[in-house]
Structure 1
Amino acid sequence: MPTASTTSATSALAPIPSLPSPEWSTVSRIAIQECHERLLPMSLAPSPIMVFPAYQRLGIPGAIPECFVREGVYLALLAAARSLPEGINLLVLDGWRPWRVQQYLFDTLHEAIKHRHPNATEDELLNRTREFVSLPSRDPCAPSPHLTGGAVDVTLCNADGIPLDMGTLFDEAIPASHTDHFEQLIELTPVQQHARDNRRLLYHAMHQQGFTNLPSEWWHFDFGDQLWAHYGEHSTACYGPAELDTIENRWRRQIG
């Protein structure tokens, strides 16, 4: 897996590059060579990582009270967190996501957009929904990123756990949530400039450890999955669909 050195103060404030939205048909054709890394709970991680399982706290049906990620993602997140300036922590909001949660998020956003734009075609609704929530898929050749344990949603917080201002809230489905939004503005207020700098710090800390970013979501980063292969220009992905190592799953494997 790719690694990199600690983020320098200069590169941490460099502009965030503008990237196109993914062509999902292209992403889904990227081959997966599963490496069989286990899922680890981020609550095991020491400071400067904090964990807040946002969907479980919001009462989303099927959401779990933990943020699981693949072992390679776990180590890369630790490295990214340790590269941050003193007093700033990495706050993990979501990682591996049960399919039921992915379906709920997709359906909920789709219906909200349809309610706001009743004359939109189904293709238009699908495209606008996929801007912020990927299509629910357990297909071993084209899984939803969060179902692999390679996608993670993160933000920055201070030493007391208070999230820093990133310009929008986590999961706000609006244009301002696009990672490069503040890079496109000619004039910024002091508040916008502060949010832009926070986004830059997060983006570069993650990028230096091998993560790629989904351009429409400043909080979403990928490592090892098909989106990571797409934006990182890797020939293959190494994470396919993953399941938690529950007692039930263990028994199913063990009993002949």
Structure 2
Amino acid sequence: MTLPEIESYPIPHHPEPCWKATSGLRIVPDHEPLVPVSLAPEPLKVFPAYARLGIPGAVPECFVREGVYRRLLTVARGLPPGFGLVVLDGWRPWRVQQYLFDTLFEVMRGRHPALDEAALLDRTREFVAMPSRDPRAPSPHLTGGAVDVTLCDADGLMLQMGSLFDEASPASHSDYLERLEAPDARQRRARGCRRLLYHAMCAQGFTNLPSEWWHFDHGDQLWAYYTGRSEAHYGPAELDTIEQRWKR
């Protein structure tokens, strides 16, 4: 499996988002439904990471908005032979967002006992957004517009990307490997994979959260912020239920 030419282009540095500015962007709802990614044909794969890890409230499926689903398919179909796209998480319930935030916050408190509450919040928000169901400022993953992805090989095995999914460390920053002065062979390989993932996703209109090589957005406020738009398309979303159908 050879690395394509696109992997020779470094991932550019982007500043962390200003969450106040992001949450202040207007949302003009586009009522696209949430759809299960498991419907997708090869080479798009699904591995609902949080359900597999036993996170309370996690659903055993990855749901995204229909427009995100179609873009992910285009990304997967455009990858070079021998590469596949794996969706690890998309829409998530508020309960899962709260659990992830609270858990990481407590880990940060134990690791950095000298930090005050504000600094701990900043450290936590580097990797987990504040839980919010506010229709004017929802957490990105609660909209169905945020998606966590990685690459796999022709056998479906996930490739080494330089850090683990959800690893709360500087190595998870998208451009971390670009800043190494003398990367070894393993790091160069991971850097090439990150570049491929980043450029393939961005070519289909996604934006990347700079602190997480796996996190991409389309249509939500974070996407609007990084693309310079004044409006987002996706607000909070909920799964369709039999009760809601009967009520309709």
Q: How many angstroms does 1:46 deviate by?
A: 0.4
Give 1:204's match in structure 2, choosing from 199, 208, 214.
Answer: 199
Q: Structure 1 counterpart of 2:171, which letter?
A: A
Separation of aligned partners in 2, 1:10 and 1:207: 16
Separation of aligned partners in 2, 1:128 and 1:251: 44
Give CA deviations for 1:21-70 in whole Å, capped at 9, x if unaligned: 00000000111110100000000000010100000000000000000000
**Structure 2 match to 1:54:** 49
User: Does the alignment pair 1:102 with 2:97?
Assistant: yes
Q: How many angstroms does 1:130 deviate by?
A: 0.1
Gaps of 5+ in 1: 1-8
Contact preservation (8 Å) 1:12, 1:205: no
What TM-score, normalized to structure 2? 0.97
Aligned to 1:152, the other structure's residue is in SS state strand
Aligned to 2:27, the other structure's residue is in SS state coil
Q: How many angstroms does 1:160 deviate by?
A: 1.5
**Structure 1 match to 2:216:** 221
**Structure 2 match to 1:164:** 159
Q: Structure 2 counterpart of 1:101, which letter?
A: V
Gaps of 5+ in 2: none
**Structure 1 match to 2:107:** 112
Separation of aligned partners in 2, 1:13 and 1:240: 36
Contact preservation (8 Å) 1:40, 1:69: yes
Residues paired across the two proteins, number: 246
Separation of aligned partners in 1, 2:23 and 2:50: 26
Separation of aligned partners in 2, 1:15 and 1:185: 12
What TM-score, normalized to structure 1? 0.94
Aligned to 2:213, the other structure's residue is in SS state coil
Aligned to 1:194, the other structure's residue is in SS state helix
Q: How many angstroms does 1:186 deviate by?
A: 1.4
Percent of pairs identical after alignment?
A: 67
Give CA deviations for 1:84-106 in whole Å, capped at 9, x if unaligned: 01111000000000000000000
Separation of aligned partners in 2, 1:212 and 1:239: 14
Separation of aligned partners in 2, 1:221 and 1:15: 17
Separation of aligned partners in 1, 2:164 and 2:216: 16
Separation of aligned partners in 2, 1:112 and 1:148: 26
Q: Structure 1 counterpart of 2:56, which letter?
A: P
Give 2:11's match in structure 1, choosing from 4, 7, 16.
Answer: 16
Contact preservation (8 Å) 2:7, 2:193: no
Q: Structure 2 counterpart of 1:201, which letter?
A: L
Aligned to 1:40, the other structure's residue is in SS state strand
Runs of 4+ in 1 over 3 A off after TM superposition: 9-12
Aligned to 1:162, the other structure's residue is in SS state coil
Q: Structure 2 counterpart of 1:219, which letter?
A: W
Q: Structure 2 counterpart of 1:127, which letter?
A: D
**Structure 2 match to 1:6:** none
Q: How many angstroms does 1:12 deviate by?
A: 4.1
Which one is further off, 216-225 or 183-192? 183-192
Aligned to 1:87, the other structure's residue is in SS state coil
**Structure 2 match to 1:5:** none
